[in-house]
Amino acid sequence: MKKVELIFIPTPGIGHVVSTIEFAKRLIHQDDRIWITILSMKWFSNIMDAYTKSLTASQPDRIQLIDIPHVDPPSFDLLKLSAEAYIYASFESYIPPVRNAVRNIVSRNSSSDSTRVAGLVLDLFCAPMIDIATELDLPSYIFLTTNTAFLGLMLYLTTRHSQNSSEFESTDPDHLIPGFVNPVPSCVLPSAVFNRDGGYTTYFKIAERFKDAKGIMINTFEELESYALNCFSNGQNPPIYPVGPVIHLNWLPHPELDLAQRDKVMKWLDDQPQSSVVFLCFGSMGSYGAPQVKEIALGLEQSGCRFLWSLRAPPSLKPENDASGIVHHKNPKEMLPEGFIERIQGRGMICGWVPQVEVLAHKAIGGFVSHCGWNSILESLWFGVPIVTWPMFAEQQLNAYMMKELGVAVVLRLDYRRDMLRLDYRRDTSDVVMADEIGKAVRMVMDGGSEVRKKVKEMAKMARKAITEGGSSINSIGRLIEDMIGNS
């Protein structure tokens, strides 16, 4: 049996690395001929290195990690203008060492009769590295860690750009984006498409490269996005392979995780009635300043529901007054209304970082107030937990809109957004979501007889069926493998 090697190049961020490695595992589980090499780039810290090694530990023989030499990042000034442009420029700077690594792998296998390199599997932001594959006569594939709806937006960009090459405007009329049944309002599009300092240009550059890929794998499943997937089965785009839901179901170690706190949280959940607790968690970058924290607290109190709230400190919290006289808090709980902790004793718990998957899997969880990151959405659907939409960054507004369109979420906000690069959230008192809105949404998501809950429970069954033998995603992966390696 001849082995084939696939070279994966993920974006070094937790949401991208986890789903990429889990997808790699799914490939090698489905076909004994496949071996994986992951090229690991390090940007800001060593946290991702620990995650990557932990995730691949179960497959030491069939998944190999190769560290790429560090490259100096672009100017921080670019990051302040556009996170997307900064990430794209970072990948461009990594092209030379990645090219060398891929060339060495190809050269090593060229002298072997038992193994050949079957292609590069690239993350969205790695699109410029398609040129490396072309130079070495290798096929390239894109693995989208988000959904088919986002693919529709990217393909729409190329069509629109040929007629109007300027950035989007908030006043633009609704957009007829392939993959959506209804026109899409500008207010739910990613912030990048409005950005004149490189964000829009970055998205367009990425979208242009999609046509050069031999196939596009998407972390979704047919039963969830059947309409969108049918829109792209016309032969005008590279083949589309829904391969999800790709979820890491075991919680991962995290530098902020206090194991004693984790045990305390899980014990508290054990003592709560089934489907009685709403869980609030806003991702690795999700935090709010004091005005919003107070409104969330009051909304939870007004709702009358039990809750578990992962309250994270804004990244720039300081233990002293700054020059402007604004008070910074050592502990995010100091931002809570006076007497709140005492008033909610017994029916609410506030914690820091918790293992989200383990919490969502718990029988006590009945609803999820979420930033609508795609991984979080898939996890909530997998466990049959309905979501309240509160998007913040990137494509999360579009995700929230899609969830509304599918009828599997309670809408709190669709167009809420934050600048992920803002260094001091306490200076931002605009667009605070008020307590009555929050309380109403929480009561709706916790309604045991709601249509949303029924649809989410049905979707949970379909998600699990999709990745069982004969399921839609397993069959799709089979077609992908056949197209990648044939009868090698």
Q: What is the pLDDT of residues 37-46, one digit of tens each?
A: 999 987 755 5
Q: pLDDT category, 419, cuts 50, 70, 90? A: low
Distances (CA, A) of 111 to 61, 86, 108, 117: 20, 38, 6, 12
pLDDT of residue 108: 87
Q: Residue 155 pLDDT > 80, yes or no?
A: yes
pLDDT reading at 323 higher than 60: no
Residue 173 gets the label, from left (phi > 0), alpha (psi -120 to 50) or beta, of beta
**422 has pLDDT over 60:** no
Model confidence at 52, pLDDT cuts 50, 70, 90, reads low
CATH homologous superfamily, domain 3-244+467-485: Glycogen Phosphorylase B; (3.40.50.2000)
pLDDT exceeds 50 at position 102: yes
21 near 38, Cβ under 8 Å?
A: yes
- pLDDT class for 328, splitting at 50, 70, 90? very low
Confidence of residue 248 (pLDDT cuts 50, 70, 90): confident
Using pLDDT thresholds of 50, 70 and 90, give the confidence band for residue 36. Answer: very high
Distance between CA atoms of residues 231 and 154, nearest Å: 14
Categorize the per-residue pLDDT at 320 as very low, low, confident or very high, splitting at 50, 70 and 90.
very low
pLDDT of residue 59: 67
Contact indicator for 126, 208 with CB cutoff of 8 Å: no
Torsion angles phi and psi, residue 155, rounded to 5: -70, -35
Residue 186: pLDDT above 50? Answer: yes
Euclidean distance between CA atoms 366 and 18, whole angstroms: 25
Q: Per-residue pLDDT for 452 more than 90?
A: yes
C-alpha 191/C-alpha 144 separation (Å) is: 19
Q: If you average pLDDT over residues 121-136, what whole number do you get? A: 95
Q: Is the pLDDT of residue 237 over 50?
A: yes
Q: Per-residue pLDDT averaged across 5-33, rounded?
A: 92
- Where does CATH 3.40.50.2000 sit in the chain? 3-244+467-485, 259-463
pLDDT recorded at residue 352: 85
What's the pLDDT band for 256 if we cut at 50, 70, 90? low
CATH of domain 259-463: 3.40.50.2000
* pLDDT reading at 429 higher than 60: no
Query: What is the reported pLDDT for 177?
Result: 96
What pLDDT does 149 receive? 95
Q: pLDDT digit string (tens) for 338-397?
A: 999 999 988 999 998 888 999 999 999 999 999 999 999 999 999 999 999 999 989 999
pLDDT for the residue numbered 426:
39
Terminal-residue alpha carbon distance, the chain: 8
> Residue type at 408?
V
Banded pLDDT at 144 (limits 50, 70, 90)? very high
Per-chain mean pLDDT for the chain: 89
Q: What percent of the chain lies above the pLDDT cut of 70?
A: 88
**For residue 464, pLDDT beyond 50:** yes
Give the 3-state DSSP-derived string for the chain, with helices as H, strands as E and coil as C.
Answer: CCEEEEEEECCCCHHHHHHHHHHHHHHHHHCCCEEEEEEECCCCCCHHHHHHHHHHCCCCCCEEEEECCCCCCCCHHHHHHCHHHHHHHHHHHCHHHHHHHHHHHHHHHHCCCCEEEEEEEEEHHHHHHHHHHHHCCCCEEEEECCCHHHHHHHHHHHHHHCCCCCCCCCCCCCECCCCCCCCECHHHCCHHHHCCCCHHHHHHHHHHHHHHCCEEEECCCCCCCHHHHHHCCCCCCCCEEECCCCCCCCCCCCCCCCHHHHHHHHHHHHCCCCCCEEEEECCCCCCCCHHHHHHHHHHHHHHCCEEEEECCCCCCCCCCECCCCCECCCCHHHHCCCCHHHHCCCCEEEECCCCHHHHHCCCCEEEEEECCCHHHHHHHHHCCCCEEECCCCCCHHHHHHHHHHHCCEEECCCCCCCCCCCCCHHHCCCCCCCHHHHHHHHHHHCCCCCHHHHHHHHHHHHHHHHCCCCCHHHHHHHHHHHHHHCCC
Q: Does residue 2 carry a pLDDT above 90?
A: no
